Amino acid sequence: MKLLILNGVNLNMTGVREKDVYGTQTLEDINLELTNRFKNCEFEFYQSNIEGDLCGRIQCAEKLGFDGIVLNAGAFTHYSYALRDAIASVTVPVVEVHMSNVHSREEFRRKSVISEVCRGVICGFGKNSYFLAVESFNL
Ligand code: DQA
């Protein structure tokens, strides 16, 4: 199983920003934990604050042999039709992830423009949202 763990805008600030919401562990900590927990899985980790970079990674996923993508698009989730179209353009399944429960926060976070084209959505479990998303590929 080869999975792409794709993080979008501001996720590089995990462990530094709004610790009460996103926890104290950095993205690198979470990625390391993923590697240690799922030894039978080959991971590639990529984070970008640039929308087009994320679209490019999604477009290439098939060619690079990924079986799936775990995507935390950050705030792009709520308004990026470009990301939505990129997801819709590939057959590689994408699982949408959020650390926080986006439905219990500000109104604008309740809307995801990518959910409709994702295989599933996991939110509200902190870093465990990533682990649950990876587990979903082994079902
Ligand atoms: C987030 C939720 C988004 O609304 C927010 O913009 C983020 C992080 C999460 O992981 O809970 O940057 O995707």
For the stretch 68-82, pLDDT in tens is 999 999 999 999 999
Burial level of 66, CB count in 10 A (0-12/13-18/19+)? Answer: buried
What DSSP string runs through 35-99? HHH-TT-EEEEEE-S-HHHHHHHHHHTTTTT-SEEEEEEEGGGGT-HHHHHHHHT--S-EEEEES
46 is catalytic: no
For the stretch 48-101, pLDDT in tens is 999 999 999 999 999 999 999 999 999 999 999 999 999 999 999 999 999 999
Ligand 1, pocket-test mutation among 49, 99, 121, most atoms within 8 A of CB: 99
22 is catalytic: yes
Q: What pTM, to 2 d.p., does this model score?
A: 0.97
Domain spans, the chain: 2-136
> pLDDT band at residue 138, thresholds of 50, 70 and 90?
confident
CA of residue 108 to ligand 1 center, whole Å: 11
Q: Looking at ligand 1, which residue's alpha carbon is closest to its atom 13?
A: 74
CATH number, domain 2-136: 3.40.50.9100
Between the CA of residue 129 and those of 56, 81, 85, what are the distances in Å? 24, 23, 24
Ligand 1 pocket by Cβ (under 6 Å): 10, 72, 74-75, 77, 98-100, 102, 109
